[in-house]
Amino acid sequence: MIIGFIALLFSCEEPECDKTLRNEAGFAFLTIRDSIETDTLIDAITVRGLARDSLLYDSSANRSAVYLPLDPSKDQSRFIFQMGARPDTLQINYTRDERFISHACGFITRFRMQQATTTHNHFDSVTTVNPLVALNENETHFNIYLSPADTSGL
């Protein structure tokens, strides 16, 4: 009876939450030259959240993509990308959907992309590749196309 009670206690225990759960939007940098789309490496990039005024990403290494968190309390996120003298602002509009993961982990917000707009200092345009951001790792959700003139110095 004691062994049965101990077994019952351990069988009801929920496993610990996996703290590596990620829910970030992926942004790939590309350039179009002679109608050919190519990955583009950025030497140095800093990304800040506009509403939070917080540093989200800072790298001096060559990067062809960055992964950034979206704001789970609003239907939009705004970022400032600094890749030289003039920054570009990127605004993403989306709908949110909370999903229950487990008692240990709680809820996670899934985002469905609706629209992305940008300034045009270094960025030529932005397109949505994968409209759903939900528990993923290293997925590309947006392609950011750089102006060909700007990529020669990056």
Q: Does a structural domain hold residue 4?
A: no
Domain ranges, residue 113 = 18-151
Among 58, 41, 40, residue whose Cα is nearest residue 49: 58
| pLDDT band per the 50, 70, 90 thresholds, residue 14 | low
Q: What are the pLDDT digits (tens) for 90-126?
A: 999 999 999 887 787 788 889 999 999 999 999 999 9
| pLDDT band per the 50, 70, 90 thresholds, residue 80 | very high
Report how far residue 38's alpha carbon sits from residue 53's, in angstroms, rounded to the nearest whole number: 31
Q: Does a structural domain hold residue 12?
A: no
The chain-wide mean pLDDT, for the chain, equals 83
Tokens of 70: 């979206």
Looking at residue 110, its pLDDT comes to: 92
Of 39-43, 57-61, 74-78, which gets the smallest average pLDDT? Answer: 57-61
This prediction has a pTM of 0.80
Looking at residue 115, its pLDDT comes to: 94
**How many structural domains are present in the chain?**
1
Instruction: Report the run of H or E that residue 57 belongs to, with start and end.
Output: strand 54-59
- Biggest alpha carbon–alpha carbon distance for the chain: 77
Q: Does a structural domain hold residue 79?
A: yes
Q: Does a structural domain hold residue 70?
A: yes
Q: Does a structural domain hold residue 127?
A: yes
